[in-house]
Structure 1
């Protein structure tokens, strides 16, 4: 009897741990679905598969939702025979995939927890080995799973979870991620971001020379003592400490004359509204026209395209309407803002607000920005306005599930006492 009780406790504990890991992993990815889509695109490219951003985004949301719902199903104890098989199959596949990534290193990091927690490929593999071990225990102990609700209640809970997390993904796509895990977050100082934080590398340079068939290695200070009979073969570099660049080193706004505008923006005391367009050709011209028409402040544009884009008649008229136009690396642009276009509000060299194109137009339509005001109030669009509805959904969902489980447990205890 004691053995069965211990086995129940062990299985239930592992059930909660594994379920929470899946939910946490799905949640971190769903905070930034566009970022997860970029990582999926990297995986496709490493295997020689060509895809586009729309397909990657669909895969991103599907993966986030699948992981989260699987985690919820495990925690609830929904249909253990099916759930255990799915969990075991998924962890087996992911362990093999991360073993391949660990050995061949096709991507810098797995993206398991989005940009929230970045771990090495080695750590990712061993993390999956541990999770696989846990799922094996769950696989062979399905009869000891804890059931939070009855079968019908669990099914409704899973359906409710799907609705909540789909809404959460959509909110983070339509707006910018609710939590910004990247360097270019609100409050960041441009000069600090782009010029500080890097570390100089330490290297030892060695040179291999040959004479009479014998090779010898010399340091830089020894080269002056060599005579002309020694023949250079190759050089070798011993890395003592790798150099690192500042976190925002790639944030370079190039003018047509080749100069970098970051320093000017950093020391500009007044408010600047910078429109960032990773790909101008994917934005409807009327969207940009609406921004230019309704915003009383001059707009600057940083785009991931070359100047050839202005040859397109749809955008030609817009070129002269922006106060200034810069060129920005497309990948960096997508890293800074997860929407196309996105808006940075800069004051005295600091990012004071960050909006998606949709939210910026909403702000303009509401008259939050007007020519009569002496300045802008931050934030222009609060997080509650963006995510308030989803937050209420999440709170109600958790409350109903908790109450349902507690009520069921009380009823079970009551029935046992009556017997």
Structure 2
């Protein structure tokens, strides 16, 4: 009886964590795909070039992994095919533990993306989280003969419902935008303010005198102490945005783009840019010009390629260049549209949901 209670607790913890992790990533499968591409980049250089080929299927692989997390979590909790679920969980957690250890030990990928952008973990925190799960799953594996399966119809229905719901939510998030935006560029954020510290940064100064190590709140005067290191005491006060910048051959325009009311069309990769809904975007560009709204194309590309795109699409607008990682962080669409009002994000749109000029005016209160 006690054993069954303890196994029930372990099942609830393991299943709950896998469901929670999967749902957070279902919220943003494109972000998970971007993280997978980072791993494949590293592995293609460090292990084998074949990992480079996996970058082409990063998105469908992302959907498969996040939906599988949720389904396995449900299987463990409701007990349907529970022994199969334990075997699959064991394989998955061993794989994830290898990834997080590799990232932490070799400092390759600084954010594993275990909980998407909702909860940021350091590489070592991610590794120890996986070790914790590995121990719990090992308990289920060792006592798998004591796990009572649930072969009822409702158990199967629960698992199938989780699978189809996960697939639907994932595809919907890909074709639109994440349901909840956990990134620093979400609607309502003032980018110039987010680029500044939220409070006065405080440092601790680690000094050494002989074998004695002393920590000071202020740098000590005199030369009896040897400086060791300086640690930030309130890291949460650091700027939330540190990498936003746009430029072109005429110079840096970061400050200028954060002034006034602007519509920015972001493209993270011109070769993979969707050609769908470009007519709607072209119409919005024309109508924006009629009301005096400044529209710019922001691309992670070269000057020549961007200028050629503007000619091909007959878009009579200016352009900026930007870092590809920053563009992907700002919006999970290629292309995607962001509406700024004096640096504040007032609207973000997937190209499938290109807004009308009336919607733009309502957001800007023009």
TM-score for both structures, normalised by structure 1: 0.71
Alpha-carbon distance between aligned partners in 2 of 1:34 and 1:374, rounded to the nearest angstrom: 26
2:249 matched residue in structure 1? 256
- 2:334 matches 1:376: no
Aligned to 2:288, which of 282, 297, 303? 297
1:219-298 maps to which residues of 2 (within 5 A)? Answer: 238-241=228-231, 246-260=239-253, 262-268=254-260, 271-284=261-274, 287-295=277-285, 296-298=287-289
Within a 5 Å distance, the mapping from 1:78-227 to structure 2 comes to 78-145=80-147, 150-197=151-198
Counterpart in 2 of 1:209? none
Instruction: Note the C-alpha offset of 1:20.
Output: 0.6
Question: What is the rounded CA distance, in whole Å, between the counterparts of 2:279 and 2:55 in structure 1?
Answer: 25
Residue in structure 2 matching 1:55, options 57, 67, 73: 57
Which of 328, 346, 349 is the matching residue for 2:340?
Answer: 346
**Larger displacement relative to structure 2 (278-287 or 6-15):** 278-287
Say which SS state the counterpart of residue 108 (structure 1) adopts.
coil
- Which structure has the bigger radius of gyration? 1
In the TM superposition, structure 1's runs of 4+ consecutive aligned residues that sit over 6 Å from their partners are 198-204, 242-245
Equivalent residue runs for 1:389-408 within 5 Å: none
The alpha-carbon distance between structure 1 residues 80 and 344, as it changes in their structure 2 partners (threshold 3 A), is same
The change in CA–CA distance for 1:317 and 1:109 in structure 2 (over 3 A counts) is: closer
Quick check: 1:325 aligned with 2:319? yes
1:274 deviates by: 1.2
User: Secondary structure of 2:52's partner?
Assistant: coil
- Is the contact between residue 103 and residue 110 of structure 2 (CA under 8 Å) also seen in structure 1? no
The answer for unaligned runs of 5 or more in structure 1 is: 205-220, 223-235, 380-419
Paired position in structure 1 for 2:73? 71
Report the aligned-residue RMSD.
Answer: 3.2
Which secondary structure does the structure 1 equivalent of 2:288 belong to? coil
Q: How far did 1:249 drift? A: 2.5
**By how many angstroms is 1:133 displaced?**
1.7
Residue 218 of structure 2 corresponds to which residue in structure 1? none
Q: How many residues are treated as equivalent by the alignment?
A: 336
- The aligned residue for residue 32 of structure 2 is 36
Specify every segment of 5 or more residues in structure 2 that has no aligned partner in the other structure, as ranges. 46-50, 206-221, 290-294
> Following the alignment from structure 2 to structure 1, what is the Cα–Cα distance between the partners of residues 122 and 91?
23
Q: Deviations over 1:219-257 (max 9, x none)?
A: xx99xxxxxxxxxxxxx9954136997332221121431
SS where residue 376 of structure 1 aligns?
helix
Contact 1:292 1:321 survives alignment (8 Å): no
**Structure 2 partner of 1:18:** 14
Secondary structure (helix, strand or coil) at the match of 1:71 reads: helix
Retained in 2: the 8 A contact 1:353–1:378?
no
Q: Distance in 1 between matches of 2:33 and 2:360?
A: 40
Question: Is the Cα contact below 8 Å between 1:273 and 1:300 reproduced in 2?
Answer: yes
Equivalents in 2 of 1:98, 1:374: separation in Å? 43
